[in-house]
Structure 1
Amino acid sequence: MDLPGTWDELRKQARKLEGQLDEQLTSYRRLVNTKVEGSEQEKEAGIERLLQQLQHVNAQMQVWVSSGSSEILSHTLTRHQEIFNDLSQEFKRLRSNLKARREHEALLQSFTSFDNANGHVERSSDSAEQALLKEQARLQSSTGQIDNVILQAQATLGALMFQRSTFGNIGSKISNVSSRLPSVNHVLSAIRRRKSMDTIILSLVASSCTVFILIYWFSK
Structure 2
Amino acid sequence: MDSQSKPLISAADLRAEARRLENALDAKLALFARLAGGEEESLPLSVCGSSASGGSERSASEVQDEIEGMLGQLHEVNDMLSRHYSSSGSATSVTTSRHVLQRHREILHDLVQEFIKIKSNFRTHEERHELLSAVRNDIREHRNSASSRSAETLLRERNAIHASDRIASDVIAQAEATKAALSSQRSVFGGVSSKLLQLSSLAPQVNALIAAVEARKLRDKLILGALLGGCISLLILYSWASG
**What interval of TM-score do these two structures reach, taking the shorter chain for normalisation?**
0.5 to 0.7
Per-residue CA deviations over 1:24-61 (Å, capped at 9, x if unaligned) read 11111111222505711211121112111111100001
Is the Cα contact below 8 Å between 2:82 and 2:101 reproduced in 1?
Answer: yes
> Tell me, what secondary structure is at the counterpart of 1:36?
coil
Q: Does residue 90 of structure 1 match 2:90?
A: no
**CA 1:79–1:62 in 2, change beyond 3 Å: closer, same or farther?**
same
1:111 alignment partner AA? V
Partner of 1:47: 67
Q: Provide the rounded CA distance (Å) in 1 between the counterparts of 2:41 and 2:77.
A: 33
Q: Does residue 58 of structure 1 match 2:78?
A: yes
Q: Provide the rounded CA distance (Å) in 1 between the counterparts of 2:69 and 2:24.
A: 11
> Tell me, what secondary structure is at the counterpart of 1:18?
helix
- The structural deviation recorded for 1:121 is 3.2
Q: Does residue 23 of structure 1 match 2:43?
A: no
Unpaired stretches in structure 2, ≥5 consecutive residues: 43-57, 151-243
Could you tell me the TM-score, scaled by structure 1's length? 0.53
Could you tell me the TM-score, scaled by structure 2's length? 0.48
> Tell me, what secondary structure is at the counterpart of 2:128?
helix
Structure-to-structure mapping, 1:4-153, within 5 angstroms: 4-33=8-37, 34-36=39-41, 39-67=59-87, 70-121=94-145, 123-125=147-149
Structure 1's consecutive aligned runs of 4 or more residues displaced over 6 angstroms after TM superposition are none
Q: Provide the rounded CA distance (Å) in 2 between the counterparts of 1:101 and 1:120.
A: 28
RMSD: 2.1
Unpaired stretches in structure 1, ≥5 consecutive residues: 127-220
Is the Cα contact below 8 Å between 2:34 and 2:40 reproduced in 1?
Answer: no
Q: Provide the rounded CA distance (Å) in 1 between the counterparts of 2:28 and 2:22.
A: 10
- The structural deviation recorded for 1:90 is 0.8
2:41 alignment partner AA? V
Question: Which segment drifts farther, 63-72 or 26-35?
Answer: 63-72
Q: Provide the rounded CA distance (Å) in 2 between the counterparts of 1:8 and 1:112.
A: 56
Q: Provide the rounded CA distance (Å) in 2 between the counterparts of 1:88 and 1:15.
A: 15
Q: Percent identity?
A: 32
Q: Provide the rounded CA distance (Å) in 1 between the counterparts of 2:18 and 2:29.
A: 16
Q: Provide the rounded CA distance (Å) in 2 between the counterparts of 1:21 and 1:64.
A: 24
- The structural deviation recorded for 1:124 is 4.1
Partner of 1:152: none
Rg comparison, structure with higher value? 1
2:32 alignment partner AA? Y
Q: Provide the rounded CA distance (Å) in 1 between the counterparts of 2:20 and 2:137.
A: 47
> Tell me, what secondary structure is at the counterpart of 2:112?
helix
